[in-house]
């Protein structure tokens, strides 16, 4: 299959209308979209990404009316979050409407819904005239794509079209996912909308932690994620010995010499940069990436979540 590159949201939307899969930029990372009501198109996403089929997709909407078409109920906490934040890097998990196919939700009775913020994403969604399910536009397990070139690297020849926008540095991390089906909202995945932000709107909001032996509430949490080919090592003390072909990313200058170094201005900047840095390390055949740990609060919680899971993954195979 030839992957068409375009800067036109109108041209990209035509591919969606014909049942295709299209990558598009949002304020978080590039998503890979398909019509939420088209099971065949949804199948293409799983195939192109080599995504495990028990991993649900997030539905992206371009207006408030589309939320009602996707869910059977907007719970009181969800209503408050929508009013306070949407459009935002925030996904709300709600009971799904009957007409939403189970292909979109990996057979769950719930669906994650979000309204992205960037003008290009909203314009694209408007031309699609339907909500889109859109996971990150990378091969499963690889670092999420923050540039169209990263999408191209993983998915060229596997999807119909890439809508070319700029780098997604506004956030650079996937959305915060909050389960709003119960009385107290539960954060299933940390993101740039923080626990503190959410508690200002609904004080009962908590972070979900799976107890041992329990199936995780958010199926995606059990899969390997975000991994470059290099081994990822987390370090808090900057006096350590490094091997050949090593790279470093963090807030402080390390003591050792590295083949590649990125010093970030702030935790936010670190969160914007590290996916791209991981891919750059792969291009340069780096074998180990040392990542400085940060305090697990605010966006630091989301960053540490991604770094820990990239470190758990070990060397990626796909």
Rg (CA), the chain: 19
Minimum Å distance from CB 253 to ligand AMP?
32
Sign of the Cα pseudo-torsion (214, 217, 219, 225, in order): negative
Count of CA atoms in the C-beta half-sphere (13 A) of 167: 6
DSSP codes of every residue in 61-101: -SSHHHHHHHBS---HHHHHHHHHH-SSSEEEEEEBPTTS-
Distance CA 313, CA 176 (A): 21
31-35 and 22-24 strand pairing: antiparallel
Minimum Å distance from CB 263 to ligand AMP?
27
DSSP 123: H
Tokens representing 166 are 């700029």
Residue showing the smallest CB distance to ligand AMP in the complex: 220
> Measuring CA to CA, which residue among 291, 301, 296, 268 is closest to residue 176?
301
Binding segment toward ligand AMP, per CB under 6 A, in 9-17, 80-88, 194-202, 217-225: 217-225
Instruction: Give the position of tokens 């295709």.
Output: 20
Binding segment toward ligand AMP, per CB under 6 A, in 108-116, 190-198, 287-295, 303-311: 108-116
By a kind-dependent CB cut-off of 5 to 8 A, residue 164 interacts, out of ligand AMP, Mg ion, none, with: none
With CB under 6 A as the contact rule, the residue among 35, 55, 130, 194 that binds ligand AMP is 55
- x/- string (CB under 6 A) for ligand AMP, residues 162-181? ------------x--x----
How many residues bind ligand AMP, per CB under 6 A? 19
With CB under 5 A as the contact rule, the residue among 35, 66, 118, 136 that binds Mg ion is 136
- x/- string (CB under 6 A) for ligand AMP, residues 64-103? -----------------------------x----------
> Which residues make up the interface to Mg ion (CB under 5 A)?
136
Residues found near ligand AMP in the complex (CB under 6 A): 55-56, 58, 93, 105, 108, 110-112, 135-136, 174, 177, 188-189, 218-221
């Amino acid at each position: 299959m030839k992957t068409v590159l375009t800067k036109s949201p109108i041209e990209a939307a035509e591919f969606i209308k014909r049942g295709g899969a299209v990558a598009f930029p949002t304020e978080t990372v590039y998503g890979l979209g398909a019509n939420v009501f088209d099971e065949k198109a949804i199948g293409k996403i799983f195939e192109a990404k080599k995504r495990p089929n028990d991993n649900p997709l997030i539905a992206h909407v371009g207006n408030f009316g589309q939320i009602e078409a996707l869910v059977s109920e907007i719970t009181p906490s969800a209503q408050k979050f929508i009013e306070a934040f949407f459009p935002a890097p925030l996904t709300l998990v709600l009971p799904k409407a009957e007409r939403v196919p189970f292909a979109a939700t990996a057979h769950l009775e719930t669906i994650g819904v979000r309204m992205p913020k960037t003008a290009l994403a909203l314009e694209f969604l408007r031309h699609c005239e339907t909500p889109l399910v859109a996971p990150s536009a990378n091969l499963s397990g690889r670092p999420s794509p923050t540039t169209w070139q990263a999408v191209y690297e993983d998915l060229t020849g596997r999807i119909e079209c890439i809508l070319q926008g700029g780098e997604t540095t506004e956030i650079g991390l996937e959305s915060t996912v909050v389960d709003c089906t119960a009385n107290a909202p539960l954060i299933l995945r940390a993101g740039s909308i923080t626990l503190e932000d959410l508690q200002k709107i609904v004080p009962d909001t908590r972070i979900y932690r799976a107890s041992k032996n329990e199936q995780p509430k958010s199926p995606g949490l059990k899969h390997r994620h975000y991994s470059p080919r290099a081994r990822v090592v987390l370090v808090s003390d900057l006096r350590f010995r490094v091997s050949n072909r090593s790279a470093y990313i963090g807030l402080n200058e390390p003591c050792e010499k590295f083949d590649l170094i990125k010093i970030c201005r702030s935790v936010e900047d670190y969160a914007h940069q590290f996916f791209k840095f991981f891919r750059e390390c792969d291009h340069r055949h780096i074998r180990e990436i040392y990542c400085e740990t940060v305090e697990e609060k605010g966006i630091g919680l989301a960053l540490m979540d991604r770094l820990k899971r990239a470190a758990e993954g070990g060397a990626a195979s796909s």
